[in-house]
C-alpha cells in the first residue's frame, strides 16, 4: 500500500499537483518554522541551560529513547512526528531546550 501512495504522490508531483507543495502546505511549514525559531530565541534569551550536557545526552539519554514511541517524544517536546522519529533514530540532535524533557522521559523508563 505504501508503494501505491508513493507512486500516487510521484504522479501528482510530475503533473504539478503535489499536495505537499501547495500554497497552504508551504505556508503551514513556514509558520511552524517561524514559531520554532521564535521559541528557540525566547529560550536563549532566558539564559536557561539544560541540566543535561551534550555528552550525557548522547551517551545516556538518546540511546534509551529507542524504547519510547514517537508519540511519547512528541508529547515530551512538542515536536513533529518526523522530527521525533529522526531524534529517536539518531539522525538529529534536538535543540538544547528539549534536553531536560528528554532526560526526564528517559529516566522514567525501566532499566533494560
User: What are the b/e assignments for 78-98, b being 16+ CB within 10 Å?
Assistant: ebeeebbebbbeeeeebbbbb
pTM score of the predicted model: 0.69
pLDDT of amino acid 5: 72
Higher pLDDT, 48 or 70: 70
Q: Express each pLDDT in 53-97 by its tens digit.
A: 999 999 999 999 988 999 999 999 999 999 999 999 999 999 999
Which percentage of the chain shows pLDDT scores above 70? 96
Higher pLDDT, 43 or 91: 91
Write down the domain spans for the chain. 52-112
Amino acid at each position: 500500500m505504501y508503494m501505491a501512495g508513493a507512486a500516487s504522490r510521484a504522479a501528482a508531483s510530475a503533473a504539478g499537483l503535489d499536495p505537499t507543495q501547495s500554497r497552504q502546505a508551504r505556508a503551514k511549514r513556514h509558520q511552524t518554522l517561524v514559531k520554532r525559531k521564535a521559541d528557540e530565541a525566547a529560550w536563549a534569551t532566558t539564559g536557561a541551560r539544560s541540566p543535561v550536557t551534550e555528552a550525557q545526552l548522547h551517551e545516556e539519554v538518546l540511546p534509551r529513547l529507542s524504547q519510547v514511541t514517537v508519540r511519547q517524544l512528541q508529547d515530551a517536546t512538542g515536536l513533529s512526528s518526523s522530527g521525533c522519529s529522526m531524534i529517536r533514530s539518531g539522525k538529529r540532535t534536538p535543540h538544547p531546550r528539549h534536553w531536560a524533557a528528554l532526560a526526564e522521559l528517559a529516566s522514567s523508563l525501566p532499566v533494560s
